[in-house]
Structure 1
Amino acid sequence: MADDDEETLPETFWGVAHQLRHLRKKTLAPWDIAPSQARALSVLLREGPLRLSELSDRLRIAARSTTEVVDALQTRGLADRHPDPQDRRATLVAPTPEGTRIGEAIRASRDAEAEAYFSILTDDERADLTTILRKLRTAEH
């Protein structure tokens, strides 16, 4: 294998992304929940009830995929659909009390795992990395 100094930026980035995906999978294992379901639950906990289209936008996935994710959460009793009081033709998705409990437990576990993972970085390095990643994520490509 090549020396780490010979690894390109994209190779290094994807190596870290792979480690983080593996860590996330390990973190979610106690709840037997898919990453897409955990992401949706996290968005709903952070932003409150959303229309399916809004949730699709936040998750950056197709509406059909969002429907599948919400169906799975609803089957597990972690989310519910209900009419939008502002527009009875529209439906809102919201976490159930159990969804809130599990979502908060997942968040606490993920925060602890992330803290451990990034603990080798100084506060300044973390701030720089956050700035760089946000810049890349929001750039027009």
Structure 2
Amino acid sequence: MATTPPAADGLGELMLAVTRRLRRGTAHALTPLGITPHHARALRVVERDGPMRLGRLAEALHVAPRTVTDVVDHLTESGWVERSPDPADRRATVIDVTAAGRMMAAEVEQVRRAASREIFAGLSKGDRAHLERILRDLVG
């Protein structure tokens, strides 16, 4: 007996369910490292994009500037980023990743990849390649 393909709105729900499962798995795996997904994401942005003002980080994270202040405070207290005067404007500060932050960002990346592998491990190599192609097409 043939199965009918899911409706487009069903696909969206399935995608959200997979995304939630991936987020939960990643959050659980990050717990032993002492970093939350929100802090990990901010650290990854600073590590990837280099020194920046808090406003730029807030834009990259799509959050309000006041929200990013608390995140940066935590990252600073943890020793993963440091604040310094902005060379272009003495009144402003920039944040940059520290050596410890680079190490943490690398660990976070390993955790993220492992969580992803675990989620998709049940798919055949061909199915994973097919899904990756579809998702790349959707991302555009």
TM-score, normalised to structure 1, is 0.82
For residues 44-99 of structure 1, the C-alpha deviation after alignment (integer angstroms, 9 at most, x for no partner) is 11111111010001011110110000001111111111011122122111111111
Letter in 1 for 2:93: T
Q: Name structure 2 gaps, 5 residues minimum.
A: none
Task: State the superposition RMSD in angstroms.
Answer: 2.0
Q: SS at 2:90's partner residue?
A: strand
1:47 & 1:114 partners in 2: Cα distance? 23
Higher mean Cα deviation, 35-44 or 5-14? 5-14
Residue 128 of structure 2 is aligned to residue 122 of structure 1: yes
Contact kept, 8 Å, 1:28 with 1:106, in 2: the verdict is yes
2:76 & 2:61 partners in 1: Cα distance? 17
Residue 69 of structure 2 is aligned to residue 67 of structure 1: yes
Letter in 1 for 2:20: H
Aligned length: 131
Contact kept, 8 Å, 1:79 with 1:95, in 2: the verdict is yes
The structure with more radius of gyration: 2
Off by >4 Å, runs of 4+ in structure 1? 4-7
Q: Name structure 1 gaps, 5 residues minimum.
A: 136-141
1:78 & 1:60 partners in 2: Cα distance? 21
